[in-house]
Amino acid sequence: MATTHRAGAAALVTAGLMTTVLVGVPSGSPAHARAAHGAGQAGVLEEPRLLQGAQANTRALQKARDSGTVGGDLLAGHGLVAPAGVRPPPKTEASAYVVADADTGAVLAAKDPHGHYMPASTLKTLTAVTLIPKLDPDRVVKPSQWACNEEGSAVGLVPKPIYKIDDLFRALLMVSGNDAADALAEANGSLDETLADMNAEARKLQAYDTVAKSPNGLDRRGQRSSAYDLALIARAGLTLPAFREYISTKTAKFPAPKGHYEIANHNKLLGKYKGMLGVKNGYTTKAQGSFVGAARRDGHTVIVVIMHHPGGFWDEVAGLLDWGFAARGLATPVGTLVGPAPSPTPSSSALAVRPSPTVDAPAATAAKRDDGMPASAMLALGGGVIAVLALGGAYGVRRRRRQS
């Protein structure tokens, strides 16, 4: 499936609900480590780099963030937004959620979709979407002692050259290995480089609510995402054959110094909910429970994202998925999952679909972290690039250093 740029959006008002109509423009394609790993990536962009010292770009992006809402104006609020003419979605204790049709991009229902919350391990999906096209899955790596000593959920890495990149991605997405996330970051060059790549990927996907401060999602000051952004990231991941394989694997053998041991997927709906493809759950005491799930029935895929849930959420997720399958094709969408942003060029005039400011989740009581993950960084787009050029400033595109 080719990923496309969205060059424009037109608002249509039907039955009091807004639907965003997007015009697709094909994008370019980078080389990949292995064809099987990157098949279906024909439209993935080269990662855009951040402009150092270009304050005009930051101001231009902030102005864009204040002028509209990514995915449609109905997604700007913090309450429930649901379509008319169909039964309402089932209740959930989650502070935020999104139910969307992955095939069409239609957002079927949402609650505080752009609200900022700590994502925990759900944004290991962004680590995977960022690094799968960049790393050779057959490459063997030796994790550092730092990676092996990471706190929270872990697959149990040791500092020996016995792991393929492929093994580390399985550990990342199946058992939420924080140590595996760190080892993948090292394999990509460094922690700083990986965070810059993840944040650039978030900007490319128009996941403007997302800021990554770790590759594993362990809570970090300023790290955040939103239910809407996680849906964008999951939809991008589903275009990657390797990503789909990892999230749908129930059990797998994992290397050890003396042989192998078995790891099992943490997704409790995998194999129990009809059509469940998988994706990722997460939890920290600050973030509380979060989950990104996708299921496919009768040729259609529905994505459900929940964030900041106080307790067990599996039954509620199943109910939201059931509702999504029943509503798709009947309900007037309340918004849309946008496509990747156009590449920054001197001729760009403005962001086609603009994000809006959102409110951080209420602070929760600090406690020991269990597992997690997210990402972001400012991307110089459209009006920001023009602002720099208008000042006659020469600039270089380079990776932005991130804090470790």
Instruction: Calculate the average pLDDT of the chain.
Output: 77
Quote the pLDDT of residue 345.
54
Residues 6+ apart with CB under 8 A from 353: 6, 9, 20, 22, 68, 70, 71, 206, 338, 341
CA distance 224 to 220: 9
H or E stretch covering 55: helix 55-65
> Active site residue: 27, 95, 121, 248, which one?
121
CA nearest neighbour of 232 among 194, 195, 203, 189:
203
Amino acid 239: pLDDT: 97
Q: Which of 176, 214, 226, 290 is catalytic?
A: 176
Predicted confidence (pLDDT) at residue 268 exceeds the cutoff of 90: yes
Distance CA 282, CA 216 (A): 10
Active site residue 124: yes
Q: Which pLDDT score is estimated for 68?
A: 82
Question: Tens digits of per-residue pLDDT, 124-152?
Answer: 999 999 999 999 999 999 999 999 999 99
| Residue 56 or residue 196, greater confidence | 196
**What sign does the CA torsion over 87, 92, 98, 104 have?**
negative
Q: What is the pLDDT of residue 344?
A: 66
The residue from 111, 124, 204, 286 that is catalytic is 124
The one-letter code for the residue type at 375 is A
Is 121 a residue of the active site?
yes
pLDDT surpasses 60 at 42: no
258 is catalytic: no
Spatial separation of the C-alpha atoms in residues 48 and 399, rounded to whole Å:
9
- Between the alpha carbon of residue 321 and those of residues 99, 369, 376, the distances in Å are 7, 29, 28
In tens, the pLDDT along 309-359 reads: 999 999 999 999 999 999 999 999 999 999 999 876 544 333 333 343 433
